[in-house]
Amino acid sequence: MAIPLTAESLAEGAAMERLNLEVQKLLDNVLDYNTSATATRTVTLTIKVKPKEDRETGDVELITSSRLAPSRPISSRLIFDKDSSGRAVAKELSAGEGRNATPLPGMHPAGRITALKTRKDGTNDGN
| pLDDT tens track for 33-86 | 999 999 999 999 999 999 999 999 999 999 999 999 999 998 888 888 888 888
pLDDT at 121: 65
Per the model's pLDDT, the better-predicted residue between 35 and 117 turns out to be 35
Q: What is the pTM of this model?
A: 0.61
Indicate the pLDDT class of residue 28, thresholds 50, 70 and 90: very high
Taking phi first (over 0 means left), then psi (-120 to 50 degrees means alpha), and beta for anything else, what does residue 11 get? left
Query: Which residue in 27, 31, 29, 17 sits closest to 64, CA to CA?
Result: 17
Q: How confident is the model at residue 1 (pLDDT cuts 50, 70, 90)?
A: low
> pLDDT at residue 125 above 80?
no
